[in-house]
A = this chain, B = another copy of it.
Amino acid sequence: MNGARSLLTALVNEGVDVCFSNPGTSEMHFVAALDDVPDMRGILALFEGVATGAADGYGRVTGRPASVLLHLGPGLGNGLANLHNARRARTPLLAVVGDHALSHGRFDAPLASDITSIATTCSVAVTTSMTSNDVAADAVDAVRAAQGTPSGVSTLILPADVSWGECSEGGPSRPRTQSSARTPASDATVSAIANKMRAAAKPVVLVGGRAAQGAALTAAARCAEAVKATLMVETFPAITDRGAGTPQVTRLSYFGEFATAQLEGVDLLVLVDAASPAAFFAYPGASSDLVPPGTEVISLTDGGDHQGSLERLADALGAAPLPQAINPLAIAERPTGVLNASSLAAAVAATLPEGTIVVDESNTGGIHLAGATAGAPPHQWMTLTGGAIGYGLPAAVGAAVGRPESRVLCLESDGSAMYTFQALWTMAREELDVTVVILSNRSYAILNLELARVGAVADGSRAAAMLELTRPEIGFVSLSHAMGVPALRATTAEELTAALEASYAQAGPMLIEAVLPPGLG
């Protein structure tokens, strides 16, 4: 058995059975081993950013790591933006980066670069496997690091000769680490926080990460209700439950001005797997810190068991067994007439199938979505955690692979779509049930907004040209056809509603270009 086969076998044994791949010469033994280890599913991407974003999406919907296979430093570079988003989402993910043979290192061959330094910027752990005998154990260690506390991207650098070398008899060596158990907050911490919450005049419970979904979110809602606190979710949660039957949660605004208003008068902020509120960008003359002066900020847990911590806290607060403030079912009316941000949101809300995973990279065009879909059938919502645009289409691939029983709805801005549109090809190839809606406003509209917000004065056409996506307009229907995905164009609310329903009624991917008013509309 060579190192590559040993590696794949170890990964499958550890529960990692999907590999989003964009391989090169140094990864050929890994690829060949796919024929020997049939439980590992290899999924080809045309670009590394698709592979890494797909692994992020997969990890968010399953809670388990997928692997990605990348080709040396440049392949890692191409995948780095979506690994950055995965890092910010704390998504468990194993990045396997093929490298030159160890024996080849001293020649500084053209593809050689400092992989470790690049990987370290996005990873919770970086390991180079040095012998074929060690690679299985290294892989298990790397997977466990990805699932540790905090979870995240774990990078295993795999030299070609470690991959092709034969393992000596006796099989792979044993992993050196145990799976780390996640622990809840201590009784003392829980009791102290419960007391502070009872004493506070205007407390907020701010959830993020794994605390924004499932039983953890339910427990957080119980805690908040017990002391009439406001339950909030971080601005960009990795994945969160929404819609009818889920707790009522206020999302912290992206715009610092609004977030400041949301937090006005708050005297206690209890963080659960979330960072203390800060502005996304700095703006001249504005504070980056969004926490009101004098507000006490405490974190419930750093042991990783957020659900356990919240349930203990709910008990300490004597909370009711189920949250009372639950979103009621309220299906939106079908919109008619002009297609704009408002009618687009209504069309999405009026047609959303139960259990849909919404991958949201809609930016300015999606401003009305949250309100419109609050009473839609229960669904999950993924957001751009790290600000590196181009996550949506790849993450939709991974979500569909990880949750094949669900429809994935990817709401994608036109500018952002152009970073990683190659994901459409993988959707077609793997026949994934993904509906892509391109919010086409022919503009980096968010930047027109931000230009003014940072106080920049662009008084001529040369700066303005850097923010517009005209000359030429991008033909998204042609683009989609080129990638093998059926596509159509919607220019009215009725057309969009009909197109969404048509896509939900059939298997496989479909792209809908929603033609919105230009720019900020």
Q: Which residues in window 154-172 of A have CB below 8 A to B?
A: 160-161, 164
Q: Which residue among A29, A104, A110, A456 has the maximum number of chain B CB atoms within 10 Å of its CB?
A: A110
Q: Any chain B CB within 8 A of the CB of A447?
A: yes
B contact residues around A73 at 8 Å (CB) = 80, 84, 121
B contact residues around A458 at 8 Å (CB) = 28, 31-32, 34-35
Q: Any chain B CB within 8 A of the CB of A100?
A: yes
Q: Any chain B CB within 8 A of the CB of A103?
A: yes
Given the known interface contacts A161-B282, A458-B31, A472-B483, the answer about A74 and B81 at a Cβ–Cβ threshold of 8 Å is: yes
CA distance A232 to B69 in the complex (A): 36
Q: Would you call B35 and A460 a contact (CB within 8 A)?
A: yes
Chain B min CB distance to A520 (Å): 15
- Determine which of B21, B111, B453 lies in contact with A280 in the assembled complex, contact meaning CB atoms within 8 Å: B111
CA distance A506 to B168 in the complex (A): 64
Q: Would you call B429 and A471 a contact (CB within 8 A)?
A: yes
B contact residues around A298 at 8 Å (CB) = none
Q: Any chain B CB within 8 A of the CB of A498?
A: no
Q: Would you call B483 and A101 a contact (CB within 8 A)?
A: no
Q: Would you call A81 and B88 a contact (CB within 8 A)?
A: no
Q: Would you call A25 and B74 a contact (CB within 8 A)?
A: no
B contact residues around A38 at 8 Å (CB) = 462
Q: Which residue among A33, A236, A288, A462 has the maximum number of chain B CB atoms within 10 Å of its CB?
A: A462
Q: Any chain B CB within 8 A of the CB of A26?
A: yes
B contact residues around A415 at 8 Å (CB) = 46
Q: Which residue among A31, A72, A88, A425 has the maximum number of chain B CB atoms within 10 Å of its CB?
A: A31
Number of copies: 2
Interface size on A, residues (CB 8 A): 104
Interface-facing stretch out of A212-220, A262-270, A383-391: A383-391
Given the known interface contacts A32-B451, A462-B35, the answer about A418 and B88 at a Cβ–Cβ threshold of 8 Å is: no
CA distance A450 to B164 in the complex (A): 13
Q: Which residues in window 479-495 of A have CB below 8 A to B?
A: 479, 481-484
CA distance A457 to B80 in the complex (A): 30
Q: Any chain B CB within 8 A of the CB of A191?
A: no
Q: Which residue among A34, A44, A282, A418 has the maximum number of chain B CB atoms within 10 Å of its CB?
A: A282
Chain B min CB distance to A141 (Å): 23
Interface-facing stretch out of A112-120, A332-340, A403-411: A112-120
CA distance A75 to B389 in the complex (A): 9
A88-128: CB near B (< 8 Å → 1, else 0) gives: 10000000000011011001111101100110111000000
**Which chain A residues have a beta carbon within 8 Å of chain B's beta carbons?**
21, 23-26, 28-29, 31-35, 38, 42, 44, 46-47, 49, 72-75, 77-81, 84-85, 87-88, 100-101, 103-104, 107-111, 113-114, 117-118, 120-122, 160-161, 164, 236, 275, 278-282, 284, 288-289, 385-388, 390, 415, 418-419, 422, 425, 428-429, 446-447, 450-451, 453-463, 465-467, 469, 471-479, 481-484
A-B contact pairs, 10 of them (CB 8 A): A26-B281, A29-B454, A34-B458, A46-B415, A77-B77, A77-B81, A107-B289, A111-B281, A113-B121, A476-B482
3 nearest A-B pairs in the assembled complex, by CB-CB distance: A472-B484, A77-B80, A74-B388
